[in-house]
Amino acid sequence: MEKFLKEAEKYLILAGVLLFAVFTLPGFPSPYFIPKEILASVIISLALITSLTRSILKGEMKMSIGKFDIGVLLLAIVYLVASIFITPNKMEAFFYPGTTTFVLLSAIFYLIINQFTKRGKNSVLLALFTSGIILSVSVLFTELGLFAKIPQLPEFMKNSAFNPLGSDLQSMVYLFALLPLGVAQIIKEKESIKKIFFGVASSVLIFGIILLGVNMLPGKPQAPVLPNWQTSWEIVIDTLKQSPLLGAGPANYLSAFNVYRPISYNQTNLWQVRFSSANNYYFTLITEVGLIGLAALVILLIAVYKRLVVNIKDKNWEVFSVAVLVVAFAIFPVAPALIFLFMVLLSVFSGSEEKSITVATNKIPSLIVALPIFVGIIALAFFGTKAVSAEATYQKSLEALVQNDAKNTYDYMVKAGTLNPYVDRYHASLAQVEMALANSIAERKDLTEDDRNTITQLVQQAISEGKATVTLNINRSGNWEVLAQIYRSIMSFAEGSDQFAIQTYTQAVALDPLNPELRIALGGVYYALEDYDSAISAFQLAAVAKNDYPNSHYNLAAAYAAKKDYDKAIASMETVLSLISKDSEDYKTAQTVMDQLKAQKSPATEATSQNLTPPQTVQETNVEPPITLPSEATPPATP
């Protein structure tokens, strides 16, 4: 029985190592990341159950000690502590994108593989190398369009950009890191047939790397889009000024990016892009887990360096895979598969087969040690199942939305929020759906009392969902923007919503101060209320945030014109005309407005083109008398 359990544990881990990088599943908004969480969680749970059961039956529990244990454990603990005490929305850290969960799962894989013999670890290396071959073949199939010709496959696999890791860049790094494993076997193997096998297999990896590299050339659809080094560095520094010890929190890089990116970023072509990671992993780590996380990383890298030196002297050329990842982490952001690969490789080269300690010497102590782990596995299964079910239900709502099925869209979103009320994405989406339904009813010409009641109910529900979105991550500008948009859309028929819109847009701006579009939206609320001085101030600040953004100056011109300050309106329109191409529709629109201004007339508010959108007045509504919002509709307190 003990032998069977030991073999079962070994093959479970080998299966996890083989499949992790290439494992995908349909039915989720992210078919690349959540399935990997599920796979790793299931594999680890089963492996721990078999290992602990074997120890209890044997009446002895031993644990092998590796050279990287301290660094790996410290890093995992830092991520866990920062997630609990710093990250505003715990579900982002622990579920999706699940930064902390992937670090913890990878660390547990490290500890389990540490218990393997030298021969077992060689099997792990072979499983890793095989995963690279499968990934390369997958890249080739995608390039040739073979997946698209198989009708039974899910739609996301038929996409021309399909990649099991979710990114060509991450896949290229993954394959490049595995290449030394194949080269080392070619050097070491004495049998010709094995040399040929690893030579051919390494060629497959190289072919995959070349294909991915070609796809990522500038101008190609899969060319990586990354923030520049300077932007990432300034975000690191400003984050540490505010939260030096534990940073902004795992999976919360986006909030730090919004608040701390430099104004120079707005002069780049990517100014509208919001990044959830820095341009390299080390900067992301420091931003998210602070100086304590950096200290844990340094401890780990020092141990890695020492072990690299020893293994290179012993001509264990496979260890260069670790070195490749250490360097790659300094150049590129990383996906969960790369963290996993790094931890698995560390476990192989940790030297744990050289030293072990005895944890328990008979069945009762072994059971006592195992019991908390069994409880943890049960808790993981219970809460994890609910979270996964909620995400699958949310995906169904998105599919219904694409099909214009309003009822199922609404019902599935409500169900997703009920299953897991701690995900702000669910509440934000539901709020927007409820407002769309309310607005569609409000557009009817002859509203009945039932219609009014339905509108009132939908508006109140939308506000409630918007407030929940904010509460779950109060430091996320986009969440405040969702709530602000709700208040803005009901200004025509809900008393008090105008001031709530100003309050929430102001907070959104405070958390994303260099976003000109948020300032334009705030100015638009003031414009609709005919508070032109405040509108002008908001539009001016939008122009300061990005002085070459035509729409800021266009809205500023509209506000000046509404105030009948035509000289300043004309000056702003001259700026607009200088910033746009003369052969574009935008230029024709702007020139029309300029002609109206020169005739000392306020331009028509419908003078809109693709990139020029003037502020709008409050639209007339069929909802009479206006809805009175309850006290519960008040926005949450600002942080």
Is position 280 within any domain?
Answer: yes
Check residue 190 and give its pLDDT.
87
Contact status, residue 154 vs residue 173, Cβ threshold 8 Å: no
Q: How many CB atoms lie within 10 A of CB 610?
A: 9
Residues 496, 498, 503, 508, CA torsion sign = positive
Tokens standing for 468?
């929940």
Check residue 621 and give its pLDDT.
67
* DSSP H or E segment with residue 272: none
Is position 600 within any domain?
Answer: yes
**Residues 183/186/188/190 CA torsion (nearest 10 deg):** 180
Is position 308 within any domain?
Answer: yes
Contact status, residue 323 vs residue 308, Cβ threshold 8 Å: yes
Check residue 41 and give its pLDDT.
97
Whose tokens are 């596995």? That residue is 377
What percent of the chain stands above pLDDT 70? 98
CA distance 533 to 413: 41
Residue range(s) defining the domain that contains residue 55: 2-129+227-361
> How far is residue 513 from each of residues 51, 500, 510, 589, measured CA to CA in Å?
52, 19, 5, 29
CA distance 509 to 231: 19
**Maximum Cα–Cα distance for the chain, whole Å?**
96
- Coil vs helix vs strand at 63: strand
Phi, psi (degrees; rounded to nearest 5) at 64: -80, 145
SS3 for 435-486, per residue?
Answer: HHHHHHHHCCCCCCHHHHHHHHHHHHHHHHHHHHHHHHCCCCHHHHHHHHHH
Tokens standing for 241?
């000024």
Is position 440 within any domain?
Answer: no
- What does DSSP assign to residue 618? P
Question: Considering 361, 384, 402, which residue would you say is the last residue of a domain?
Answer: 361
Which own/partner pairs from 414-419 qualify as long-range (CB within 8 Å, at least 24 positions apart)?
A: 416/390, 416/391, 417/390, 417/465, 419/386, 419/387, 419/389, 419/390, 419/393
Angle at 505 between CA 499 and CA 510, to 5 degrees: 125
Tokens standing for 148?
């698209």
Question: Considering 361, 389, 417, which residue would you say is the last residue of a domain?
Answer: 361
Q: Which residues pair with 495 in a beta bridge?
A: 628
Tokens standing for 265?
């970023």
> Looking at residue 539, which CATH number applies to its domain?
1.25.40.10
Check residue 441 and give its pLDDT.
87
Is position 410 within any domain?
Answer: no
Provide the whole-model pTM.
Answer: 0.94
Contact status, residue 477 vs residue 255, Cβ threshold 8 Å: yes
Quote the number of domains for the chain.
2
Q: Where are the alpha helices (DSSP H) in 59-154?
A: 69-85, 90-94, 99-114, 118-144
Question: Considering 361, 388, 409, which residue would you say is the last residue of a domain?
Answer: 361
Q: 627-628 and 494-495: which strand pairing?
A: parallel
DSSP states of 200-226 as a string? HHHHHHHHHHHHHHHHTSTTSTT----
Q: Which of 11, 37, 25 is nearest to 387 (CA)?
A: 37
Contacts of residue 387, defined as CB under 8 A and 6 or more positions apart, other chains included, come to 91, 95, 419, 420
Is position 27 within any domain?
Answer: yes
Is position 398 within any domain?
Answer: no
CA distance 501 to 35: 39
Check residue 169 and give its pLDDT.
97
Is position 217 within any domain?
Answer: no
Which residues of the chain fall below pLDDT 50?
Answer: none
Tokens standing for 608?
């809109």
- Coil vs helix vs strand at 628: strand
- Coil vs helix vs strand at 33: coil
